[in-house]
Amino acid sequence: MASQDIHHDRILIIDFGGQTTQLIARRVREAGVYCEIHPWDLTAESITEFDPSGVILSGGPESVIENNSPKIADEILKLSVPILGICYGMQALVHQLGGQVEAHRGESEFGYALMDVTDACSLFDGLSDSESANAQLDVWMSHGDRVASIPEGFRTVGTSENAPIAAMANAEAMRFGIQFHPEVTHTKQGAVMLQRFVLEVCNCAGNWTPGNIIDNAVASAQQLVGDERVLLGLSGGVDSSVVAALLHKAIGTQLTCVFVDHGLLRLNEGDQVMQLFADNMGVHVIRVNAEARFMSALEGVTDPEAKRKVIGNLFIEVFEEEAAKLEGTAWLAQGTIYPDVIESAASSTGSAHLIKSHHNVGGLPEHMALKLIEPLRELFKDEVRRIGVDLGLPPNMLYRHPFPGPGLGVRILGEVRRDYANILRQADDIFIQALRAHDLYDTVSQAFAVFLPVKSVGVTGDGRRYDYVVALRAVETIDFMTARAAHLPHEFLDEVSRTICNSIPNISRVTYDISSKPPATIEWE
């Protein structure tokens, strides 16, 4: 299948800073339609180049009635494609099209609400979550301001107790506004509403499916690479494993995988990865032992961004050295996924902040001898796993917790040292094996230990102990753009803490990280 087929229909999601913007994207993708998230201040040229089939305006924390609040670009309002405004997006539509938004005089509306459908609307027709004669929908609200009057041409199609104008529609102009969040599961019919918008209102075909994505990636790789050779930086994680399967399907023996053992892997991971690929992939893998080289380069480096740059640059050096040994190698393949791209990007005016440089994105040197190929760059993590299933990869490979390319380098705070890495490896293994033993491993999305280069006083027998601290981290997430700390049983955490402190003489204290993302990131650095 040609590349343009799965990208022919495309939804542009304008991000006003809402915490659930990525969930909108996931719902659109689940409906079988390609979409991209872009900041509200993207350029007119970018809008024209994207050529959307429809636009969704996300929620956000600002107030449209405040000065300098984010605005909908004029170029978007000039488009003749359907537009759906969600929460802040609805209020921005109202504000910029001549309606009125006001601050709540009474109660704000946060959480569950019951919306009465008051007029016909293609998003709601035939939907109801109650047995009453009038259609009522369970929705999830999160707003302080509210719409006081709607622009000319619009009709009020939904109302709730604290939002007299909870939904509006201009069917002729194909513009809609909803005060609630359809992307969250608390809005029971929300996925249906978004599906109707992209498939029926925007008239998208729904070609964004795992099978079509695979066909597209294979065809694109074949066209891009030609008869040249590709070197894949293999980590053994989900992303690089799926890239290996895709490229092996596309170009066969033109692919060589290089597994760099940088001394920052989990316990026995190097041997496990090599065995796993020998058993399941049939792909040629070269193992490079570069621990001494990486440790030397990281000596004295404490800043997280600097560490990522050092590790990313050294990875490329190793890959290029290996490529030089393989005649005809011109490409470097990586397992970059869409959240990596979003988190490493800044908006056109600089209003969106860089969260961190990913080794696959911001960690690369400016000039490389190899050309870059990233088949998963458009995909969320759950999409990667789904195409991995279609490619026949084993579950223990696909559902293994993610592990960052810089490895333990970003799980050791401050300077990376060999003795720190050895301590952390042991603690991390105890935690992971305990999760498996208690059937908790598959209930969390990612779990690991973090080494803190500080010492804490403890007691061993009758003696004083003064040793290091480790933190345990386990999160639950779908797309890794947002996450919450896993609610692991206290008894389990107590058991893991005791085992770590009793088994590893260098650790005197274990903590559990309960931070969500946002405001924290999943990794500590």
Catalytic amino acids? 87, 181, 183
Name, in order, each residue with C-beta under 8 angstroms of 274's C-beta and a sequence gap of 6 or more.
Answer: 259, 285, 287
Q: Distance (Å, rounded) from C-alpha 110 to C-alpha 162?
A: 10
Task: Provide the 10 A C-beta neighbour count for residue 436.
Answer: 10
- Cβ burial of 30 (10 Å; 0-12, 13-18, 19+) is middle
Answer yes or no: are the C-beta atoms of 18 and 88 closer than 8 Å: yes
457-465 long-range contacts (CB < 8 A, ≥24 apart) are 457/508, 458/501, 458/508, 458/509, 465/508
Answer yes or no: are the C-beta atoms of 113 and 137 closer than 8 Å: no
CB-based burial, 7-18: b 16+ in 10 Å, e otherwise: eebbbbbbbbbb
Q: For residue 15, how many C-alpha atoms fall within 13 Å in the half-sphere facing its CB?
A: 23
Q: Which segments of 155-303 does DSSP mark as H helices, in order?
A: 190-196, 210-225, 238-251, 269-280, 291-298
Q: Distance (Å, rounded) from C-alpha 491 to C-alpha 478?
A: 26
Q: Pairing mode, if any, of strands 175-178 and 163-170?
A: antiparallel
